[in-house]
Amino acid sequence: MATQQTSAAARVLVAPSVILLFLWMIVPLAMTLYFSSLRYSLLDAENIGFVGFQNYAAFLSDPDFLSALVNTLVLVGSVLVISVGGGILVALLMDQPVFGQNALRLMVIAPFFVMPTVSALVWKNLLMNPDSGLFAWIARSLGMEPVVWFTNHPMMSVVIVVSWEWLPFASLILLTALQSLDEEQKEAAQLDGAGALPYFFYIVLPHIARAITVVILIETIFLLSVFAEIYVTTGGGPGVATTNIPFLVYKEALLNFDVGAASAGGIVAVILANIVAIFLMRIVGRNLEG
């Protein structure tokens, strides 16, 4: 236990980093809050003034906002389901002793190291391109009409790209959890006559529940702010079919040059992220206890 002197010294010593981090967070937040209360369009930069909550009212009543909200939730939800579900399967497979296990693991993890922009470009131009993409080639060789992914199934396409990026992360974390399952417990279950499915549901799933929770929480934080993949592939379209909240904020700020509205949108996004976080903690957070 720390004495009073040492804890006082500790406080002094950590103070610089705490203060720096605090400023790092609080200054942009304060400035965003400030800008969100201004009429501040870069197209009309002479005419800046205080407007109160008008920017918020405008952003929230924008018909695009509601669809962006829905899009955000659909994107986050779908990717979570796919990456966690797929991650469990991949982890179970990787946990089997096979030849070239290490090389296999490295390959499975590889997508995680690819930048979102690059992986989106790869998917857009090499795989899903309706003229020159691999999928189109496969479809044509099977005598089928190629799917025009980003035009006809825009949200599904974005979900696929983002899931591909996050599947390795989920697999890796869940594999680690699987490997920590006690060998004698496996054998006890075997002796107790648990077949593959009961073994999975009664022994494995409860054991990795905590890891699943961690994956869900971490992924959610990042998935709420997916941007590069949408920017590179669909540009938020067609229409607003793949515009999520971050992309809507971007459109306000850099396409409409409306700093005030974009700031308001940013604050709304922050609040939304917190609401989602609270819900998530409610639903899955109790897995983290004990």
Q: In this structure, are residues 79 and 168 in contact, taking their beta carbons and an 8 Å threshold?
A: no
d(CA 158, CA 75): 8
Q: Does residue 198 have a cis bond before it (omega within 30 degrees)?
A: no
Per rule CB under 8 A, is residue 195 in the interface with other proteins?
yes
Candidates 43-51, 72-80, 95-103, 197-205 — which segment interacts with other proteins by CB under 8 A?
197-205
Per rule CB under 8 A, is residue 188 in the interface with other proteins?
yes
- Residues in 153-182 that interact with other proteins by CB under 8 A: 182
Backbone angles phi, psi at 49, to 5 degrees: -165, 165
Per rule CB under 8 A, is residue 22 in the interface with other proteins?
no
- Cross-strand partners of 38: 50
Contact with other proteins (CB under 8 A) among 28, 52, 77, 198: 198
Candidates 159-167, 205-213, 225-233, 274-282 — which segment interacts with other proteins by CB under 8 A?
205-213
Neighbours of 46 (CB within 10 A): 4
* Three-state DSSP class for residue 50: strand
Per rule CB under 8 A, is residue 44 in the interface with other proteins?
no
d(CA 95, CA 93): 5
CA-based end-to-end distance of the chain: 23
Per rule CB under 8 A, is residue 28 in the interface with other proteins?
no
Residue type (1 letter), 126: L
Contact with other proteins (CB under 8 A) among 39, 105, 153, 207: 207
Per rule CB under 8 A, is residue 194 in the interface with other proteins?
yes
Contact with other proteins (CB under 8 A) among 2, 142, 191, 196: 191
Per rule CB under 8 A, is residue 238 in the interface with other proteins?
no
- Neighbour-count burial for 210-231, b at 16+ CB within 10 Å, e otherwise: ebbbbbbbebbeebbbbbbbbb
Give least dist CB 286 to other proteins, A.
Answer: 13
Does the CA dihedral 187-193-199-202 come out positive or negative? Answer: negative
Count of positions on this chain that bind other proteins (CB under 8 A): 18
d(CA 149, CA 127): 10
> Is 44 or 192 the residue whose CB approaches other proteins more closely?
192
Please compute Rg for the chain using Cα positions: 24
Per rule CB under 8 A, is residue 206 in the interface with other proteins?
yes
> Is 73 or 189 the residue whose CB approaches other proteins more closely?
189
Q: In this structure, are residues 68 and 277 in contact, taking their beta carbons and an 8 Å threshold?
A: no
Give least dist CB 187 to other proteins, A.
Answer: 5
- Residues in 90-149 that interact with other proteins by CB under 8 A: none
Contact with other proteins (CB under 8 A) among 184, 196, 282, 289: 184
Give least dist CB 209 to other proteins, A.
Answer: 8
Candidates 95-103, 119-127, 204-212, 222-230 — which segment interacts with other proteins by CB under 8 A?
204-212
Positions that interact with other proteins (CB under 8 A)? 182, 184-185, 187-195, 198, 202-203, 206-207, 209
